[in-house]
Each structure stands twice: as C-alpha cells, then as structure tokens.
Amino acid sequence: MISLPLLKRNMSQTWKILLILLAAMTLYTTVIIYMYDPELAHMLNDYQIALPGIMSAVGMTGIAGNLTEFVYIYLYGFIMLVFPIIAIIILGNKLLAHYIDSGSMGVLLATPNSRLKILLTQLLSMLAGITLLIVLITAIGVGTCEGLFPGELDIPLFLKLNGALLLFHLMLGGIAFLPACIFNDSKWYFSIGAGLLVLFFLFQMLGNTGGDMEFFRYLTLFTLFPGKNIVDGEGDVLLKCLGMAGAAIVMYGCGAVCFHKKDLPL
C-alpha cells in the first residue's frame, strides 16, 4: 500500500532535518540531566525565583523529589514540545504541502501509483520521522541518566511518559496533515496548520502563568498531554490518551478523504 522508492526518497530528503533537531534536543537533554547534581540544581531553582513568569510560561515549575520528576519539570514543558512541533511543520510542508503547491504531486500521480498509495507513503514518512525523533531522544535520555546517575531514573515511568509524548505529537501531526490535504496553496498550510500549532502552544504558555490567564488552557489541545498525571501517578491518563488517539484518527482520516476528492494543480 506504499511506494518504497518514494519512501526512500523521503527519508533521504528529511534525515538531515531530523538529525539537526535531534542534536539540539540531545544537547538540552544532557545538560538538564547533568544539572540534577545538587551543586548545579540550585541554579534552576534560582531561575524559578528570579523569573517566575517566564519559568511558569514554559512549564518549568515545581520542586523535584527525584530524577524522573526533575527531567519532567525542566524538559517536558518546553523542549520536548517545541522541537518535535518544528519537525512536524517542516515535514508536513516538505512531504505534502510543497508537493501540492508546486504541482509536483501531479508528477507523482502520473506514475503507476494511486492517490491513496502516494498519500499513505507521505503520511508514513511523516509519522516515521516524528516517531524516530521521540524514540531516539528517549534512548538518549535513558542512557544519559544511567550514565550519570545509575538507578535513579524510573525507567518504566519514563518510557510511559515518552509513549504519551509520542502519541501527543502524532496527534499534532494531524493538525498539520489535514490543511495540507485540503488546500492547494502552501500559504494556507502555514497559516492554518503551522499557525494552529504555534497558537495552541502560545495558549498553553499563557495558561501556565495561571491567574486570569488560566482559561487559555481550555483553548488548546496541549492540555491533553498527560505528562503531569503520569509523573504524579494520578489522573485520567488513559482517557487523555484515548482522546489524543481519537483526534489523530479523525484528522488523518478527514485529510485522506479531502485529498482523494480534491482537484490538484498540475
């Protein structure tokens, strides 16, 4: 149901982008884990005191009782959200929106491949890129923690956290995928697909500051990510995961239907 030559071409076109993003995530991850050392951790606590608004906005608040909580507080409010979102926006454009806008999709469809086969190949390439990014940074996180602080990371909990993170970003991928399938002009992809992802993240930052801004949390899909529930061991984790999976299926399904019926520019 997919085109292997096209899949290989997609991988060759996107691996450098993913490598750059992975390198940036690796740098932040290893530095944060290294700072779990009590002699350095006070620096992050001082930032919370000196810059409470900024630290709250990016989700870096709270007192960590162990390494897992420390990693969650300082990585999963900003770093683990922003870099995969950048990957989603770039991949959505490179693998679908740009092909349609430039008329290259017509060239692909001139080959002995159906619309569905081409679309599934592009979608699989996008999802594989997102998955690879999360899987690799998860492995790097576990390796770094075990290398610097053996036995202090709750590995099963950490894997559960990153499993939910992967599901969350696969759902966000649907937000980019759907407008890429609906519109023929890539400007609408960036305005609606990429625009919604950025807007939802800004709403999340505003909601994190609390007070009068807390209502913004109800305007963003970011509240579905059950990271805090997983780390705290309480809350409706399963319900949120089902919600993310359901939203992803709906958006990818609607995108496929729209792509199948639309008139493509040649």
At 242 the pLDDT is 94
Query: Which residue matches tokens 């969350």?
Result: 168
Residue 209 burial (CB count, 10 A): 16
Distance, CA of 112 to CA of 82 (rounded, Å): 38
Question: pTM for this structure?
Answer: 0.92
The DSSP line for 159-225 is HHHHHHHHHHHHHHHHHHHHHHHH-SSHHHIIIIIIHHHHHHHHHHHHHHT-GGGGGGGGG-GGGG-
At 147 the pLDDT is 95
At 38 the pLDDT is 66
Could you tell me if 72 and 162 are in contact, meaning their C-beta atoms sit under 8 angstroms apart? no
Q: What is the mean pLDDT of each run of 10 residues along the chain (266 residues)?
A: 88 94 96 80 63 63 81 90 95 91 81 87 95 97 95 95 97 95 91 93 84 82 91 87 94 93 74
At 100 the pLDDT is 86
Distance, CA of 257 to CA of 246 (rounded, Å): 17
Token pair belonging to 138: 């998860």
Question: Cα(first)–Cα(last) distance of the chain, in Å?
Answer: 24
At 36 the pLDDT is 87
At 64 the pLDDT is 72
At 205 the pLDDT is 85
Distance of alpha carbon 2 from its chain centroid, rounded?
24
Question: Which residues does 216 contact at the CB level (< 8 Å), separation at least 6?
Answer: 203, 204, 206, 207
At 65 the pLDDT is 78
Residue 141 CB-density burial (10 A; 0-12 exposed, 13-18 middle, 19+ buried): buried
Token pair belonging to 77: 């409010």
